[in-house]
Structure 1
Amino acid sequence: MRLLIVDDGFYIVEYLKHLLDWTKYGVDHIETTTNSIEAKAILDQGQTDILITDIRMPEVSGLDLLEHVNKHMLRTKVIILSGYSQFDYAQSAIRLGALDYLLKPVDKEDMEKAMQSVVKHIGETPPDKEELDGPGYLLSVISEQQSPVHSVSHADPSLNTLSFCFFQVPDGGGQAEITLRDNSEGLEDFIWQTPSGLAGLVLTSRMGSLQDKMEHIHFSQSFELGKKNTVRHHFYSFFHHEDMDASDFARWKDWNLPSKFDATQWELVRRNMLKKFAQLTVRKHKLLYLLEFVHFLYRESNFLQSAEVADLLFYQLSEPDAALKSILLSISEWNKNADCANHQIVHTIQTYIADHISEGLSLEDLGKIAHLHPVYLSKLYKQETGENLSAYISMKRLEKASQLLIDSSLHVVDISRLVGYKKNQYFIKLFKDQYGVTPYQYRRQHIK
């Protein structure tokens, strides 16, 4: 199943993405976005089984997305999240068909209960036979890793016994892609346009017709998708000119791939991957290792999209060393964007604090500025800076007070209010804790 997580706060999206082991609920593909307009476009593709969305977002709200699902009769099941506890929002969400309504910060146990309800409802709904995660299914067949949630039988049980073959059209595009899709007999999810050309699977029965219409198309020997060993033998032989045997495939058990992806531990994963890859001297073993890693990344994260996976599988893996660099670059770019987003949030909050030092500056107020729930904002700030947000606010207030004590002749009680403290005695206590002297003593020490 495919899960879409939507929230205008990047940190919230990442928190939710790693909150559960989603595979336990049959989720084999997770897509995330902080752009609610983009979310509507993703829903329009008709492949999203579960939507978890914030109720309040700029431009398109969670209720808008829920209404969109209803209006277009999409099969998507919806869980609504909100940092606001107003009952009218819950009423609207439930009335529009949301299966659950959870308050932020989302508790793991509450989300587990919500997902159990969603899975039950999906189980009572007839499966959509047109749905097929092409990359996920192919990876589950040619990879050693078990991925039972990718099952072609969910789309059509007869596909397991049909005769297929791999195809490749180097530098193909345009009319070639149209011809292939017209001859796919509804299996367009097995056809990929990549930067290096067209590749994928087609029914063996269409080989003759396609050869007549396309001069540069190449085909593998035929196979049945249900016969795993035969499929992956032809895959490695046709695309990468390697003859694999059982002993080659057995090696992956010694590679210690992580069982679950954790973005915060990516640097450790990267180092371990480079170390293991450096120990491999045989090309086909490098191919196998990278394919297993691609499968892991596709299953556990959104680093690699469908087109990237296809280009790696059908073309780039032929040069394992270059493919490794490409994979690492994709993940590094993702991490860089995530870091930039977090740094920008911290910068925005610190700038706001500097400009509004005399105001209350509650976590709730700052959360609205950053479009994050206060709890998430507090965690993000601590993660990025190593200090508590409340401690930073106190420090900036006292710094401003110390400056005013030297640069102005304002009374201490007035300075206390200017830096956000309504109770003068509390301000004096905090100031002495910070500087070791009272505000009066500080002024005398610095003004001669």
Structure 2
Amino acid sequence: MPEQSGLELMEWVKEEGMRLETVVLTCHSEFRYAQKALQLGGSDYILKPVIYRELEQVLQALGRKVEEQRQADHEGERYHQLAELWQGQKPLLTERYWKDLLDGRERPDASWLERIRLAADVDAQLIGTIRPLLISVENWEKDIDERDERVMEFALRKAAEEILLESLPGAVVEDYRGNSLILIYEGGAAAQRLEELCDRYREACRTYFYCKMSVYIGDAVPLKNLRGEYLGLLHEEYRNVSISWSSIPAGAASRGERHADALQPDSTALLEWADLLEQGGIESMRARLEELLMPGAAVTVETLTAYAYGLMQAAYLTLHRKGFPAFMLHQYREDFDVSAATRSVQRFRAWSEGMLGQIGVLLQSRRSESPVLRQIKAYIADHMDRDVTREELAEHVFLNPAYLSRLFRKETGKVLTDYILQEKMRAAAQRLTGTDESVSAIAAGLGYGNFSYFARLFRKVYGKNPHEFRKIGTDSSATPGA
């Protein structure tokens, strides 16, 4: 070659990192030339004069090699894309697996453990003990609509990852009911200074997200008992009407023996049964009872008695959450005598069918709107002349504010504060088109001392200011937001 040898060209190609296949055709028969060519990545070394059949075979083999390399590169690129996709999906899969476990759709068996291990990159020992924390939003200190509230709830979960899980292994999960939870993996070691860490998290959320909240700190429990502990936290939040804006540790005295692993309906099973009735209905509860009564089960008078009282307590708890007084369970039937239900499995089945039937009648009778919801709406309608807070409404119906907000959104599809605003603006629209009151008098009558603020809210709901709305004579039955 002019000015440069073939070996020098091969050396330059190698230095530049080019992926080329080379065949050396040369008159040099010395071993050191062949050795150098092979060291530089040459595929073959042919002496002149060239036998064309031999060269053809070498080039064909080299072509097959190049094609195989191309296929390998393509498969490698595809594998890399799939690996990146898998890495991106792992957090979503991790959350889904935890959600299914908390909801009772999955059990922590070997199959589930293998899936969570791959998705979360954790070993089984680390998640052998879990401490759940429940984030309970009690109040937003700025007016926000439903879309903004969902965004802010997402921000709260991200903040929990950055603050609570900065030095602790765990996961942040939004369950199927909209609750935000932190699951701390304590299989390796117990979390230290957790209450102090939760206080710092709450302070940060109030500072940056204008949110007052409580964090319910559960006990560290074996993985198999996590669902019971989770339901216990939800029940604590539901029952709590006295402590607010706090980090609330688990209270063994108030929560009792919630972690016993037994078939009989202890407090853990009671909460699970109430959850089955509330979420899955009577069919889910019927299936659970059939599991307990299946052939081969150790059924005695004592266990039947426990099941009967457990079902009644679960029914009372479910109806109370829905706003029904307990006496309504016996309003149309007075033959729910527990002693009659425990004489045989057959009698228990008949007794439980009657009980479940009555529960179903009550839940179906007012399915569209629960008594609690009616109380809330009536209270809002009776107090249109002033600002009504979520805390005031919660106190009126004896519920926790955070629980009340979720209940209201679940039954109506609306945020409670949005509903209050819409009802006030609906009343304002009716007065604007149906009376001669001045706009300022209407604003004052609905508790708005600042006319400009009232006009801004009215425009937000109806798309027009109050004077424009009255002038064009909009139908008083118009829907807010239309």
User: TM-score category by the smaller chain?
Assistant: 0.3 to 0.5
| TM-score, reference length from structure 1 | 0.38
Greater relative contact order, per chain length (Cα 8 Å cut-off, separation 6+): 1
From the CA coordinates, give the structure whose radius of gyration is larger.
Answer: 2
| TM-score, reference length from structure 2 | 0.35
